[in-house]
Structure 1
Amino acid sequence: MSRALSALTACMLAVTTAYAANQPTPPAAAKSAETLNVATVWNLKDLYADDASWETERKAIAAELPALKAYKGTLGRDAAALLAALDFRSGIQKRLMRLYSYASMKSDEDTRVAENQARDQLATNLYNDYNEATAWIAPELNALGADKINGFLAAEPKLGVYRHTLMTTLRLAPHTLGQKEEAILAAANAPLQAASNIYGLLANADIPWPTITIEGKKVTLDQEGYVAYRDHRDPKVRKQVFDTFWKAFRVYERTFGATYTGHLQGTVFQAKARNHGSSLTAALSFDNTPESVYRTLVTETNAGLPTLHRYFKLRQKLLGLKDLRYSDIYVPLAKPPREYSLNEAAQLTLDGVKPLGEDYARELRAGFNGGWMHSLPQRGKRSGAYMNGSAYDVHPFVLMSYNGSYDSVSTLAHEWGHALHSVYSNRAQAYPNADYALFVAEIPSTTNEMLLADYMIANAKTRAEKIFAIGQQLETLRGTFFRQAMFAEFELLSHEAIERGDALTGDKLSAMYLDLLKRYHGHKEGVMKIEDAYGVEWAYIPHFYRDFYVFQYATSISAAAYFAEGIAKGDLAMRDRYFEMISAGGSADPYEIVKKAGLDMAKPDPYRAIIKRMDRLMDQMDAVLASK
């Protein structure tokens, strides 16, 4: 998969939480937000006037793909020839990403519409054709060697925009095959994606979801319904929600096990085919991220489990529960103060990110009012939330289902952090370098989320609001640091099992995941009771079909805490480094981009700092609880 399509897929999997499609309409906007008029449905006409225009462009791109072959054998002729070939490829790719964005977003508006699904498949097929048509480029570049390419770079300044791409290609030469083999692997993309596609249809559309009665109302426990009611104030209700929902998933445990194992086998096959030592090193190799980043995260997270267990005990105390169960994990520590209109959510985000400066706020307001977001809950809509910033010549798009809760407000801030990242990257970088890596992608989104949380704590008007605000930030740290690190450990264990030749089935994956659930949540220590039935939760996580992606949530929240705390204190030098980071796009290795901004994510310090932050918040909560 190309870097551009990889980034798009990653943005679309940046799911913080899913929202119920059957939630009541949020209240009208408060007077303080009257200057905002946030769109509820995005304007895809900014991409194409209509479906017919999209189809015309698809055919035009398909007709131009064969022209890529005309450049084969010319890359080493001289610097001008290399520039011409790379410019032509870049131009095709830019148009293709716009095409793919329209198709995927139309599909996500309503997954039940067959025409939209077909269009999405046509776009995917065309991208696979593009990959096949360009598979010869990397082998031909590698054959030229570093000396010749460096000579071309010195002779032609316009090649500078491709410097990082060219250096990355040379670095990956040991993992690049011959032209014939590269073409075969490119052609294998579609069948290797089949497991993920099957999973998506099964998990989102085809499971016959059960219904239960809550407060006299019959509720469908699909993914949206589960998210809507898993935090119910009545512990008996949320226990019923958990038991019913996970029982429905358990029915398909064997099928989910087959799809995920098939995906893992495909990943291991690709890693071996490219001469990587493991799936992990293969996944990290493109961006040149040290394996020590991943393994240090897992080690430090396990070392910090006593802090997580302390949080669970605090949760039990605040909720007044005799025993803490896994079904108690999502209920807020205090009653939400109120619901928020969409315009209020946008205004709160603007207030929270004020330390980032007026230019940032101006760009954010433009996006809020510009028809960049689809926030309307509706049946058939893709669950979760994401940002698509792949249409370079247009603007980013955001998808979520806004329901008026504080979680919805926080998700809005998060996804618009992604959007502004794309705005700044596209502003500073030409297209070949505008596509930032996943390792950096979650930092600005999580920084927005954390700035919002700090703002809500600082501006809480009552003791109850303060408790709620601190509780929400603690929950963010649990969900974004500890939970994502647990997911990362599960991915590591499952990939390593396939690499050893172990046979994995749905029940074995559930047992593996259950062991992690119990360890992370202190089952053995008596902190939280984890029932065996919940081991199937792994099958609910779509991120697992994007190998070794989720660890970046945990690394990113660690980095976000560093930036949010420093920038909020008025550290203008840090703010400058922050904007340099989110403007850097893909002009350098992402690990080095973050390191230049002030953090070495391969060392324990960032992870220990985020754990200390969580302890400080709990100290603050203890002080509030002790006050009258």
Structure 2
Amino acid sequence: MSEVLKLRNRDEIEAESKWKVEKIYASVKEWEEDFDKLKEEAPKLKEFAGKLSSAKKLKEYLDLEEKLSRKAEKLMVYAHLRSHEDTTNAEFQALTNKIDPYLAEFSSYTAYFVPEILSLEEGVLDKAMEDIPELKIYKFLFEGILKEKPHVLSREMEEFMASVSDCLGAPESIFSMLTNADMVFGNIKDENGNEVELTEGNYSNFIRSKDRRVREDAFKLLFNTYKGFENTIATSLTSSIKSFNFKAKARNYKNALEASLKPNDIDVNVYYNAVETINNNIKSLHRYVDLKKKLLGLDEIHMYDLYVPVVDIEKEHIEFNNAIDIVKTGLKPLGEEYLNIFDEGVREGWIDIYENKGKRGGAYSWGSYDTMPYVLLNYNYDINDVSTLAHEMGHSIHSYYTRNTQPYVYGDYTLFVAEVASTTNEVLLIHHLIENEKDKKKKLYLVNQELEQIRATVFRQLMFAEFELITHESLEKGEALTAKDLNDIWHKLNVKYFGQKMKVDEEIDIEWARIPHFYSDFYVYQYATGYAAASAFAKAILEGGEEAVEKYKGFLKTGGADYPINTLKTAGVDMTTSMPLEATIARFNELLDMLEELI
């Protein structure tokens, strides 16, 4: 009987493969001590209520608020990084259970700030900035607050909204614990007949397997497991959407979409135009499905055939150190400074590399102004994991540039540009690999990889965006959405996007239930717009050399010091038009032509 390949426990992972969270706090005891200090100091913020018309008091408030917010963010990041290492570790879960509800209380201490700023007489802020020049750094912040005046509530209501924020976030917490800590999928047999435990971490490898039996087994086991929890997850998702709709209505927005986009000065038409543009070009995706069906030699193409490479090449086992070298070579056009920062990240312990039992699935970059920009991976020795490394380090180096350039108040970037730097890295990497590959079969494989990047990041994410529009609008109208309703919506979208040649298997109907991004309302469309912007940046960097790199680094350094649309436009990419997205679809068509020529 073959041996079941088990995941390692956290303590079995070597230290050099783990992120260095001890640089934030050396121990849980140290974390607890800082948490106690925060709880002791934070109530002092309430003492400034009603006094912000004084320039001196305004400056004192902003200084204290920054000091305590930075401490709170450090506490939160440490707690969550530790809990994500092993979601079954009760000690680390206890840290998140302490800090998360406290952050809602902390927010209530500053809830008066925005309403009070809005209540000040015209000219008071200008005079304060004249009297105390250090306040001028907050000019863009003040302008943004004044712009949002119709959506800011009274002091009492702001305090109330802050105090219930943890409760309103409960659906996401429940979903996360269910899918990361409680759900198990069972075992499948791999290509060699070994019985292997299926996880969210290794599913991506199995669904790309050349062995159709393996990918079908993985597909059916994964989604049938989610199917068993469909009513629970439907309730958690619809509750999350209702919470966001409630907040949008409470703040006098027309709808949830406007509530998500308007604070960053993004017109809702940017969202609608992206969905419309992809629907107008949906035949390109149908062409891809038809071509893939022919290349795979299938009588019928199923959803579980979608991710398999169109050419059979020997599966490469890429050690992590080799992955670093591959990524750095692909990112060489970004210059020596960028690569030195990349090396620093690897050397200083930004990255948590390998999967272990209980570890949160997927990958992300996260940190605070006073921590390193950490990267969580579940590295599985595959070329796709190499691309993920490039992607997440793009996020982290974006954060690095921003935090080393901007003051704390602008030391983060908005969601709209959050995926641009990460995707620029991916695009540069795949362009490098395609251009330099001499072997015809491998080149074919890589062309398919870039096609898959665009399919998954642009077409797929805008399908997700359309799902979000439908679900939010349905619940805004007071309609109920059951698991069956969500399954039906998802099925119809898959039929529309993939066309008549695709056999849309019933198992895919539950796929909405495994998408954590749906708990961050109207986030996913930004993968598509981000990819379009990233493609434009990558093209400029490859063709424009040092000048283009400097413009791009200017974008990375801007952080929250300007609105995202302006930040991109200054760097040469105009997202108020459909041109970047249409150019990305043109590249998709070009790759399809290349694929046909190579075979």
- TM-score in same-fold range (> 0.5): yes
Shift of 1:574: 2.5
Residues 608 and 538 (structure 1), Cα distance of their counterparts in 2 relative to 1, 3 Å cut: same
When residues 208 and 446 of structure 1 are mapped into structure 2, their CA distance, relative to the original with a 3 A threshold, is closer
Q: What residue number does 2:397 align with? A: 420
Task: Flag structure 1 segments of 5+ consecutive residues without an equivalent.
Answer: 1-19, 24-36
C-alpha separation in 2, matches of 1:220 and 1:264: 33
**Residue type of the partner of 1:532?**
E
Could you give the per-residue CA deviations for residues 560-602 of structure 1, whole angstroms, max 9, x where no partner exists? 1101111012343332221111100100111111121122212
Return the TM-score normalized by structure 1.
0.91
Per-residue CA deviation, residues 169-207 of structure 1 (Å, 9 max, x unaligned), is: 111111111111111111111111111111111122223
Q: How many Å apart are 1:80 and its aligned residue?
A: 2.5
Structure 2: gaps of 5 or more residues: 9-13
1:360 to 325, 338, 343: 338
2:474 to 497, 502, 505: 497
Q: Which residue of 1 aligns with 2:220?
A: 243
One-letter code aligned to 2:385: S
Worse overlay, 591-600 or 201-210: 201-210
Moved more, 491-500 or 199-208: 199-208
Q: How many angstroms does 1:527 deviate by?
A: 2.1
Partner of 2:11: none
Task: Indicate the residue corresponding to 2:510 in structure 1.
Answer: 536
Name the CA distance, whole Å, in 2 between partners of 1:284 and 1:518: 29
CA distance in structure 1 between the partners assigned to 2:131 and 2:581 by the alignment: 44
Q: CA deviation at 1:146?
A: 4.7
Q: Which residue of 2 aligns with 1:567?
A: 541
Distance in 1 (CA, whole Å) between partners of 2:562 and 2:470 is 30
Secondary structure at 1:286's aligned position in 2? helix
CA contact (8 A) 1:145 1:170 kept: no
**Retained in 1: the 8 A contact 2:537–2:573?**
no
Matched-pair contact (CA < 8 Å) for 2:6–2:196? no
Deviation per residue, 1:378-423 (Å, 9 max, x gap):
1100000000131x23321100011110000000000000111011
Q: Quick one: which of 66, 79, 82 aligns to 2:43?
A: 66
Which residue in 2 is equivalent to 1:512? Answer: 489
1:6 alignment counterpart: none
What is the aligned-residue RMSD (CA, Å)?
A: 1.7
Give the letter aligned to residue 253 of structure 2: H
Match of 2:132 in 1: 156
Q: Is the 8 A contact 1:39 1:370 kept in 2?
A: no
Matched residues in 2 for 1:84 and 1:585: separation? 24
Q: Is 1:217 matched up with 2:194?
A: yes
Q: Deviations over 1:124-174 (max 9, x none)?
A: 122112101111111101101553223323433211222222111111111
| Residue-by-residue CA offset, 1:318-372 (whole Å, 9 max, x unaligned) | 2221211101011122335522111111111111111111111111111111111
TM-score by length of 2: 0.95
Contact 1:61–1:92 (CA<8 Å) still a contact in 2? Answer: yes
Aligned to 1:477: 454
Which of 149, 172, 180 is the equivalent residue of 1:196?
A: 172
1:87 Cα deviation after fit:
1.4
- The residue type equivalent to 1:386 in the other structure is Y
**Amino acid across the alignment from 1:475:** E
1:203 counterpart SS class: helix
The aligned amino acid for 1:171 is K
**1:375 alignment partner, SS class:** strand
Equivalent residue, structure 1, for 2:118: 142
Given that 2:227 and 2:510 are in contact with CA atoms closer than 8 Å, whether structure 1 keeps it comes out as yes
Local SS of the residue matching 1:275: coil
- Per-residue CA distance 1:522-544 (angstroms, 9 max, x = gap): 1xxx2211023311100010000
Q: Secondary structure at the match of 1:598?
A: coil
Q: Give, in whole Å, the separation in 1 of the partners of 2:392 and 2:278.
A: 25
Contact 1:376/1:401 (<8 A) preserved: yes
Distance, in Å, in 2 between the alignment partners of 1:317 and 1:127 is 54
Percent identical among aligned pairs is 36
Q: Distance in 2 between matches of 1:592 and 1:39?
A: 41
User: For 1:75, what is the secondary structure of its paired residue?
Assistant: coil
1:94-114 Cα offsets, whole Å, 9 max, x none, are: 111111111100000000001
Question: What amino acid is aligned across from residue 275 of structure 1 in structure 2?
Answer: N
Contact 1:438/1:549, CA 8 A, preserved across alignment: yes
- The answer as to 2:345 corresponding to 1:350 is no
Partner Cα separation in structure 1 for residue 251 and residue 184 of structure 2: 40
Q: 1:611 aligns with which of 580, 585, 594?
A: 585
1:273-422 aligned at under 5 Å gives the runs 273-334=250-311, 335=313, 338-390=316-368, 392-422=369-399
Whether the 8 Å contact between 2:334 and 2:541 is mirrored in structure 1 is yes
Letter aligned with residue 460 of structure 1: E
Native 8 Å contact 1:388 1:396 kept in 2: yes
Contact 1:246–1:536 (CA under 8 A) maintained in structure 2: yes
Instruction: Tell me which residue corresponds to 2:594.
Output: 620
Query: Which residue in the other structure is 1:81 paired with?
Result: 57
Q: Distance in 2 between matches of 1:219 and 1:43?
A: 30
**Segment of structure 1 superposing worse, 136-145 or 149-158:** 149-158
Letter in 1 for 2:232: T
Once the two structures are superposed, what CA deviation does each residue of 1:296-323 show, in whole Å capped at 9, x if it has no partner? 1100011111111111122222222121
Partner of 1:454: 431
